[in-house]
Amino acid sequence: MTTITNVELRRVDLPFVTPFRTSFGVQHVRQAIVVRVLGDDVEGWGEVVCGVDPLYSSEYVDGAWDVLARYLAPAVLGRPLRDVDVAAATAAIQGHRMAKAGLEMAVLDARLRATGTSMKDHLGGTRDVVPVGVSVGIADDHAQLLERIDQRLEEGYGRVKLKIEPGWDVDMVAAVRAHVGDDVALQVDANTAYRRSDLDHLVALDEFGLVLVEQPLPAHDLLGHADLARRMTTPICLDESITSAAVTRDALDLAAASIVNIKPGRVGGLLESRRIHDLCRARDVPVWCGGMLETGIGRAANLALASLPGFTLPGDISSSARYFHQDITPPFVAHDGMMAVPTGAGLGVEVDRSALEAATARTEQVSR
């Protein structure tokens, strides 16, 4: 097989159908870095999932672009596509996991396209269809929120994640539970908006039969989460804290979480994601696939990952139309809260070249 001859970076700007509000801010547009890796006769695609601004984590689009162009892409140029280990080749560069994950995704896609293997099979996926849910942002008021939730339930989702922050939590969840009844699976995500002084307040969420509470405290605060987990009956799930398999092991040993959200970008790639899955599965800890408002490229990768057997809870993987008017791949569609895992070679999606061109705001070629 061929060596990597060129890495093409592209920034695509996709406006959201509805701006997405979380405790860390409002996102109006998805700026994705699309990574295209080229060998002599093969190409592969990846997506860098960081936000425009460094609010969810320290990574952001312009920073990821810089580290990809100056450090990460050069570290894989000239390496054999068949067996280059992107994580190992870029290990000297600290952090920048989302940038590394996007490059790894493109390399794996190119390699698997060349051998005709799907990402699902490569990772060890066991299911062709996976359960999916929807993440609903913070709304202007309860009426607007309930209207948005009704729309999602009509679309067939059976699991709804509600974003929370101080002032938009217990009363809001009470109103939603009263509105949807007991059959809808509800969970909440704070994106680190609370502090240790808020634990008594958070315990009040135990009233509402939630599937889990996601990342109430800052990413570093494993002991705070362990303290909260002892005081709540609702399971604690970590998102921002989980940056590697090693951290996952510590979090589980400390009983800081009993459920783990896995996002390939946050942990540095699909292969590290699989290690976290394997670790959690060995300990009977449920995992689920988080979302970063991905384009169809990242969505395809998430579906492949979510087909592994330990992903027993629905992923944050919704229909493309909920995010974008026009995606850069054919749209993914959920039916009755389930979504099909791509079966074609590599990620199993074809990039829509005209949609890609139309959305492209910046390009750079990195070659030797």
Strands (E), 197-266: 213-214, 236-238, 259-262
Among residues 100, 120, 161, 263, the one annotated as catalytic is: 263
Shortest distance, CB of residue 239 to Mg ion, whole angstroms?
4
The whole-angstrom separation of Cα 320 and Cα 123 is: 23
Per CB under 6 A, 169 contacts ligand OSB: no
| Spatial strand order in the sheet of 6-22 | 43-48, 25-38, 6-22, 360-367
CB of 26 vs ligand OSB, minimal distance in Å: 11
Contacts of residues 13-18 at CB distance under 8 Å and 24 or more positions apart, as own/partner, are 13/359, 13/361, 14/295, 14/323, 14/324, 14/326, 14/327, 14/328, 14/359, 15/324, 15/325, 16/293, 16/323, 16/324, 17/321, 17/322, 17/323, 17/324, 17/325, 18/137, 18/148
Site for ligand OSB (CB under 6 A): which residue of 90, 135, 192, 329?
A: 135
Could you give phi then psi for residue 214, rounded to 5 degrees?
Answer: -100, 125
Question: At 324, is the secondary structure helix, strand, or coil?
Answer: strand
CB of 266 to Mg ion, least distance (A): 9
Query: Exposed/middle/buried for 220, CB within 10 Å: 0-12, 13-18, 19+?
Result: exposed
Residue 352 identity: D
- Cα separation, 59 vs 363, in Å, equals 19
120 belongs to the catalytic site: no
Query: In this chain, which of 239, 267, 311, 347 binds ligand OSB, going by CB under 6 A?
Result: 239
Contact 72, 100 (CB under 8 A): yes
Q: Is 191 in the site for ligand OSB (CB under 6 A)?
A: yes
131 is a site residue for ligand OSB (CB under 6 A): no
Choose, by CB under 6 A, the member of 39, 235, 291, 342 that binds ligand OSB.
291
Shortest distance in whole angstroms from residue 116 CB to ligand OSB: 29
Active site residue 263: yes
Q: Is 315 in the site for ligand OSB (CB under 6 A)?
A: no
| Residue 56 makes contact with ligand OSB by CB under 6 A | yes
Tell whether residue 273 is a contact of ligand OSB (CB under 6 A): no
Query: What, of Mg ion, ligand OSB, none, does residue 47 touch, CB below 5 to 8 Å by kind?
Result: none
Q: Is 186 in the site for ligand OSB (CB under 6 A)?
A: no
Segment interacting with ligand OSB, rule: CB under 6 A, options 152-160, 172-180, 289-297, 349-357? 289-297
Interface with ligand OSB includes 165 (CB under 6 A)?
Answer: no
Among 100, 120, 161, 163, which one carries the catalytic annotation? 163
As annotated, the active-site residues are 163, 263
Catalog residues that contact ligand OSB under the rule CB under 6 A: 56, 135, 189, 191, 239, 290-293, 316, 318
